[in-house]
Amino acid sequence: MKYIRDIVDVQTKRVFLRLDLNVPVTNGAVSDDFRIKKSFETIDFLRKAGASIVMGSHFEGEGGSLLPVYEYLKARYGDVSFVSDFFPQTPDFSSGKMFLLENLRKYEGEKANSPLFAKHLASFTDVYVNEAFPSAHRAHASIVGIPEYIPGFAGFKFEEEIKNLSRAFNPEHPFLFILGGAKFETKIPLVKKFFEMVDTMFIGGAIANDFFRTQGIQTGESLLSKSDFNLSSFLTPKLILPHDVVVQRGEQSYTKKVLEVSSDEKIVDVGPGSIEELRTKIKEAKIILWNGPLGNYEMGFKNGTLELAKMIAESRALSIVGGGDTVASIAELGLEDKFSFLSTAGGAMLDFLANGTLPGIEALNTSL
């Protein structure tokens, strides 16, 4: 793979910079700029070198337009132009050094990885830089199509994601893996891959309910996978499941033992006793890999996740953390600098850890 620092005569180049600017927007303004800030190093490098930059990203937030992100970037850099329509016509890139294209998914060719669309995007520039690791698991035109037509390079943060996440493949021991969240179908590949590798695996969040079901434990109205996975082989001493949980019944929520959950209750968070049980494991660990909240974070059940974040922040272990709600909990506590590496990725992190590569990585490896 070639990296951004390998671009020859970058000052003469027009660069297609694929970013992940799919950030929260509230009332027409960016409300969480974590991912945008992660792009600054690469943007600043290219600007300082004198390159012309055409930035592209998808966007799924409020209004479906990248205009709020454009206003954010313009406030920081000044000389940014917004290109609202760029297919099938070719925009005028003669004025200025920095352009932001409208939401790439506005066009069907993006998700379809249309060769026509990818070739059109490639025609704007001389080289391609992927700084959108969170989107690198998508075989879309701006991820895998463009580098078929112009030389492709990895950005600084893209490189950093690969380097740091790869540390989980050859870990020091004790190795503690903490897995939460709600989409068991996306997490079971990680359970299968890392179970023999770890010293301890803690399962929280809604995915723990599937393990409870395997044990024959009542989960009431709690979220369960539609598929009944065969999880009995993982029920060994190295697996830790919550022994107490926060449940909700109507408008009330309270803590109780897992074995006492009734049919009209819903598990919404891990209990304080289960979090405390992890304290010793966290202190002993040399590496901690954590993905996914331990409770229904979006509904406000975040105490377990926040307490876990505090304990890991106090640890001396190499800590690798990813997932939107997981990183949000760390940001809420202002503890970002207490972790070894915070991944900007969600699904891409899971796919990379499970498979060791991504479509976006393979596209750069085989690029011109």
Query: pLDDT tens, 38-76?
Result: 999 999 999 999 999 999 999 998 899 999 999 999 999
Q: Is the pLDDT of residue 118 over 90?
A: yes
Q: Is the pLDDT of residue 81 over 90?
A: yes
Q: Is the pLDDT of residue 259 over 90?
A: yes
Among 37-46, 159-168, 183-192, 359-368, where is mean pLDDT lowest?
183-192
Model's pTM, two decimal places? 0.92
Q: Is the pLDDT of residue 104 over 90?
A: yes
CA neighbor of 323 nearest in space, from 172, 173, 179: 179
pLDDT of residue 25: 94
Strands (E) across the chain are located at 14-19, 25-26, 29-30, 52-56, 80-83, 98-101, 127-131, 152-154, 175-179, 200-203, 239-240, 244-249, 252-257, 266-270, 287-291, 318-322, 341-342
pLDDT of residue 130: 98
Token digits for 125? Answer: 């520039």
Cβ neighbors of 235 (< 8 A, separation 6 or more) are 211, 214, 215
CATH number of 4-154: 3.40.50.1260
Among 82-96, 132-146, 284-298, 300-314, where is mean pLDDT lowest?
82-96
Token digits for 321? Answer: 């953390």
Q: Is the pLDDT of residue 275 over 90?
A: yes
The pLDDT mean for the chain works out to 95
Comparing 4-154 with 164-355, is the CATH topology the same?
yes
The answer to whether 100 touches 70, Cβ cutoff 8 Å, is yes
pLDDT of residue 350: 94
β-pairing, 52-56 vs 80-83, is: unpaired
Range 75-83 average pLDDT:
95
**Extents of the domains making up the chain:** 4-154, 164-355
Query: pLDDT, tens digit, for every residue of 235-256?
Result: 999 999 999 999 999 999 999 9
Architecture of domain 164-355: 3-Layer(aba) Sandwich (3.40)
Range 322-346 average pLDDT:
92
Q: Beta partners for 54?
A: 16, 99
pLDDT of residue 258: 97
Range 279-307 average pLDDT:
95
Q: Is the pLDDT of residue 131 over 80?
A: yes
Q: Is the pLDDT of residue 323 over 90?
A: no
pLDDT of residue 147: 98
Query: pLDDT, tens digit, for every residue of 182-234?
Result: 888 889 999 999 999 999 999 999 999 999 999 999 999 999 988 878 899 99
Instruction: Report residue 9's pLDDT band, with 50, 70 and 90 as the boundaries.
Output: very high
pLDDT of residue 123: 96
Token digits for 73? Answer: 């970037």
